């Protein structure tokens, strides 16, 4: 009889599981935790895929989101776009194979990264309603419809009911039924998600059909597509020894020197010569596949000791200072906006990232809770709203870590201020596969702080100007209040006509406080703020 404690007996139960089977048992890791969050996550995954597909095809996105209530905690979601569609031969993998996609291996900015999003929706539909999703596609070659589900044991798609559809439809439409979900308003609902999507993507038009029949249109405010990101090579500064060896093993170059130039951006023959002098004992003429771990470590140290040209921005597509300012004015209508865009920095893996910030003050900025006002943090990654997991996010930590009193804001949680931060990168280091928080990496937090501080200096000058103006206006009113009495007293003492004295005193006071009225048509504090913006690198505007 076999010993139950024997290693051979114990490891008979050893079994390999598919990634789809793992996520089936751990759906919260994909963002499906909580009924409201789960429904918003579904819309998020489909909408980001639609925006990426249409933009890559050079098409101005038109996206329709239709949410209907089917029963208690059960809803249908349909998302349709005017994009290039998905070929019939690929649609199964795209919609029902976890970790399959066009994005993960490419050095260019895209909203999705891991090849999990759409497949996770198919998986969630399966485990909450036991129903497949239905897709309809119209490509340049064919038009078809089919149902798609997942074989979770093998992480493979199951396609049924495939038929050809009308040729007139161009784009892609996905429809699914989902349980354990709920539609609500508020800061974490679908309406808020789509509103913030429109805020960060002014070229996108989105129509929302709510469960109560209400239709909302978020019209595009820009008629041109943003700059299309291009694939780039990794930058040497972000590479570690393991990644360097991986690149070397895959290289077809005959020499390490040529491998470095061909594989990494900003690498020239001059840089190779500098490395030859600094990396003693490493033969750069040998084949890359013969590179050893110790040599890779030494090369990485040398990379960090050299001066490099900043990384290419061709791989990135930011909102831009003008876009942020215009979007904030349209959506929040604040009294004042200050915007900052930082220079690119390098993160792990040699990929660049850029932080851009917009701070809105007054007007519709901040949160309104009854009669009270509070500051709000609007988080974005690659122009995608991050509504959940705020406490786990680098953006929240950076904004909360600012000494706001230095910028004229006494208590962030009690003033009408909104801080919008967007991090753009080829690779966003999310804290989880649900992609709702940026990982708290030290260099990213520091870069966000610097960006917020730059924009904050514009806010500080505005608030200081407003407060100074209020003080001056108060003094002006007090002085004008006593002019009549002073004119009478002086008239009695000098014998001069009272009216003439009063007229002269008013002219004297008005000349001293003329600056209070000079810029009224230009917006309160606007002139001072624009002049001061040269020091901070931030652009500022006042309404």
Distance (Å, whole) CA 137 – CA 144: 6
CA 435 – CA 385 distance, rounded (Å): 10
Name the more confident of 109 and 298.
298
Supply 85's token pair: 């569609």
Q: Does the structure show a pLDDT above 60 at 68?
A: yes
Per-residue pLDDT at 7:
61
The per-residue pLDDT for 294 is 93
**Cα 181 to Cα 39: distance, rounded to the nearest angstrom:** 5
Render pLDDT for 89-135 as a digit per residue (tens, 0 to 9).
989 988 988 655 444 444 455 555 444 678 889 988 988 999 999 99
Considering the domain 19-218, what is its CATH architecture? Answer: 2-Layer Sandwich (3.30)
Written as six digits, the tokens of 391 are: 């406490």
End-to-end CA distance of the chain: 85
Q: Is the pTM of this model over 0.75?
A: no
250-290 pLDDT per residue, tens? 899 999 999 999 998 888 999 999 998 888 788 999 999 99
Share of the chain above pLDDT 70, in %: 82
| Distance, CA of 42 to CA of 117 (rounded, Å) | 8
**Mean local confidence (pLDDT), 399-405:** 95
Taking residue 515's Cβ as centre, other Cβ atoms within 10 Å add up to 11
Q: How far is residue 279 from each of residues 4, 177, 302, measured CA to CA in Å?
A: 56, 60, 7
Q: What is the DSSP string of 27-81?
A: GGGGT--SHHHHHHHHHHHHHHHHHHHHHHTT---EEEEEEEEEETTEEEEEEEE
Of residues 448, 461, 441, the one with CA closest to residue 524:
461
pLDDT the model gives residue 486 = 81
Q: Show the tokens assigned to 182.
A: 């709920």
Residue 152, pLDDT above cutoff 60 = yes
What are the two backbone dihedrals, phi and then psi, of residue 264, each rounded to the nearest 5 degrees?
-110, 150
Rounded CA separation 187/360 (Å): 18
DSSP designation for 422: E
* pLDDT given at position 383: 92
Query: Which one, of 332, 312, 305, 348, lies nearest residue 442 by Cα?
Result: 348
Task: Return the bridge partners of 77, or none.
Answer: 67, 176
Look-up of token digits 């505005």: 462
| CATH class of the domain whose range is 236-305 | mainly alpha
Give Rg (Cα) of the chain: 30
Secondary structure (3-state) at 23? helix
Domain ranges for the chain, please list them. 19-218, 236-305, 462-542
pLDDT attached to residue 186: 84
Instruction: Note whether 275 and 301 are within 8 A (CB).
Output: no
Least confident segment among 145-159, 282-296, 336-350, 412-426: 336-350
- 84 SS3 class: coil
Nearest to 506, CA basis, from 485, 486, 483? 483
CA angle 527, 532, 450 (to 5 degrees): 135
Mean residue pLDDT of the chain comes to 83
The number of residues making up the chain comes to 543
Question: Which residues lie below 8 Å from residue 529, measured CB to CB, with a gap of 6+?
Answer: 336, 338, 458, 461, 462, 465, 540, 542
Label residue 526 by pLDDT band (50, 70, 90).
very low
How many angstroms separate the CA atoms of 65 and 43, rounded?
8
Contacts 24+ apart (CB under 8 A), 269-274: 271/306, 271/308, 274/306
């Amino acid at each position: 009889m076999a010993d139950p404690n024997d290693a051979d007996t114990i490891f008979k139960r050893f079994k390999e599981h598919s990634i789809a089977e793992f996520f089936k048992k751990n759906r919260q890791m994909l963002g499906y935790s909580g009924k409201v969050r789960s429904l918003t996550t579904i819309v998020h995954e489909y909408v980001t895929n639609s925006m990426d597909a249409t933009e890559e095809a050079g098409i101005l996105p038109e996206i329709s989101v239709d949410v209907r209530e089917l029963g208690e905690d059960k809803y249908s979601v349909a998302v349709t776009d005017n994009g290039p569609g998905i070929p019939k031969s690929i649609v199964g993998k795209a919609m029902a194979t976890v970790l399959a996609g066009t994005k993960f291996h490419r050095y260019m900015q895209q909203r999705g990264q891991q090849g999990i999003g759409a497949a996770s929706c198919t998986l969630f539909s399966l485990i909450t309603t036991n129903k497949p999703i239905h897709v309809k596609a119209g490509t340049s070659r064919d038009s078809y419809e089919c149902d798609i589900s997942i074989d979770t044991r093998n992480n493979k798609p199951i396609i049924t009911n495939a038929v050809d559809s009308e040729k007139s439809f161009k784009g892609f439409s996905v429809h699914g039924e989902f349980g354990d979900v709920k539609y609500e308003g508020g800061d974490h609902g679908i309406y808020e998600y789509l509103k913030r999507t429109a805020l960060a993507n002014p070229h996108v038009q989105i129509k929302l059909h709510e469960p109560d029949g209400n239709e909302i249109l978020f019209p595009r405010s820009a008629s041109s597509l943003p700059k299309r990101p291009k694939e780039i090579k990794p930058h040497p500064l972000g590479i570690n020894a393991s990644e360097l060896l991986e690149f070397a093993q895959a290289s077809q170059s005959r020499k390490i020197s040529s491998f470095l130039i061909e594989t990494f951006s900003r690498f020239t023959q001059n840089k190779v010569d500098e490395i030859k002098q600094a990396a003693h004992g490493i033969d750069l003429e040998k084949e890359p596949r013969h590179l050893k771990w110790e040599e890779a470590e030494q090369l990485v140290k040398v990379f960090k000791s050299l001066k490099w040209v900043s990384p290419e921005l061709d791989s990135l597509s930011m909102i831009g200072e003008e876009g942020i300012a215009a979007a904030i004015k349209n959506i929040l209508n604040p009294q004042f906006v200050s915007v900052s865009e930082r220079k690119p920095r390098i993160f792990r893996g040699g990929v660049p990232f850029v932080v851009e910030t917009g701070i809105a003050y007054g007007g519709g900025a901040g949160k309104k809770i009854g009669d009270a006002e509070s500051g709000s943090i609007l988080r974005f990654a690659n122009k995608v709203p991050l509504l959940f997991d705020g406490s786990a996010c680098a953006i929240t930590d950076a904004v909360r870590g600012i000494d706001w009193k230095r910028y004229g804001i006494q208590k962030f949680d009690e003033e009408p201020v909104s801080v919008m931060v967007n991090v753009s990168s080829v690779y966003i280091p999310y804290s989880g596969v649900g992609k709702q928080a940026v990982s708290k990496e030290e260099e990213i937090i520091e870069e966000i702080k610097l960006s917020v501080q730059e924009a904050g200096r514009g806010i500080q000058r505005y608030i200081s100007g407003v407060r100074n103006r209020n003080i001056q206006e108060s003094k002006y009113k007090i002085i004008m209040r006593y002019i009549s009495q002073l004119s009478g007293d002086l008239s009695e003492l000098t014998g001069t006509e009272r009216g003439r004295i009063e007229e002269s005193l008013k002219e004297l006071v008005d000349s001293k406080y003329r600056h209070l009225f000079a810029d009224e048509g230009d917006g309160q504090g606007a002139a001072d703020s624009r002049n001061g913006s040269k020091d901070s690198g931030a652009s500022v505007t006042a309404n």
